[in-house]
């Protein structure tokens, strides 16, 4: 029953949001693949000074592990002004997505993150308080296929703040650069890589913080 309360996951510089509760296996696969993609990107590119190269390597690694890119491309960058909090920006962005469930899912994820101090502390530390981080919504389609959206966000501010997601920035004092890509899981391809995945996880495993309703 506890697993059904799961709303997302924090691991490294990544905040994952679940539109509906994934299976235990899919939850683990999402975490494992993003763990490996983060490590691969960190080995190849500087997380902050070369955000574009880092993101492309991240997406390529997921692709190699069985997550196929829509259109085999990464979408161009966009720039936004944050007038309230980054959390508000994420919810507003989710409202604009085709799947109407996304906004409610993002609200649930952020609410459970806000009261999970270890997860919030880790996300602050791993992202240099929002300088570069990723938000990754996950969902099933009507056929049971698992999809994720990668949103890489770079927060530009004059002064860094702890709990950066929930800090209310004055209008025009914070700007966000966003890169994005969309992927769908090919489970048979991922299954063919499980030996490699286990080997990579044995070499390095990031801390993981499951976000659950009613948990602190």
Q: 10-residue block means of pLDDT along the chain (216 residues)?
A: 75 94 93 96 94 93 94 75 89 79 89 95 96 94 92 91 89 85 95 96 90 70
Looking at residue 97, its pLDDT comes to 73
Looking at residue 103, its pLDDT comes to 83
SS3 content of the chain, % helix, strand, coil (to 5): 45, 25, 30
Q: What is the pTM of this model?
A: 0.91
Fold of 11-212: Delta-endotoxin CytB (3.40.198)
């Amino acid at each position: 029953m506890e697993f059904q309360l799961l709303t997302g996951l924090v691991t490294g510089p990544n905040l994952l949001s679940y539109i509906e509760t994934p299976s235990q296996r899919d939850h683990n696969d999402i975490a494992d693949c993003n763990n490996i993609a983060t490590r691969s990107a960190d080995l190849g590119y500087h997380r902050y000074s070369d955000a574009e190269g880092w993101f492309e390597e991240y997406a390529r690694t997921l692709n190699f592990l069985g997550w196929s890119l829509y259109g085999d491309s990464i979408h161009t960058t966009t720039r936004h002004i944050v007038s309230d909090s980054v959390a508000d920006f994420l919810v507003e962005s989710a409202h604009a997505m085709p799947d109407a469930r996304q906004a409610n899912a993002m609200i649930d994820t952020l609410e459970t993150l806000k009261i999970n101090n270890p997860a919030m502390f880790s996300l602050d530390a791993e992202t240099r308080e929002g300088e570069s981080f990723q938000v990754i919504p996950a969902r099933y389609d009507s056929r049971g296929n698992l999809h994720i959206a990668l949103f890489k966000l770079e927060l530009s501010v004059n002064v860094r703040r702890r709990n950066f997601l929930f800090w209310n920035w004055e209008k025009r004092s914070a700007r966000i650069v966003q890169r994005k890509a969309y992927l769908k899981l090919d489970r048979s391809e991922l299954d063919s890589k499980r030996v490699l995945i286990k080997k990579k996880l044995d070499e390095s495993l990031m801390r993981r913080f499951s976000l659950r309703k009613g948990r602190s």
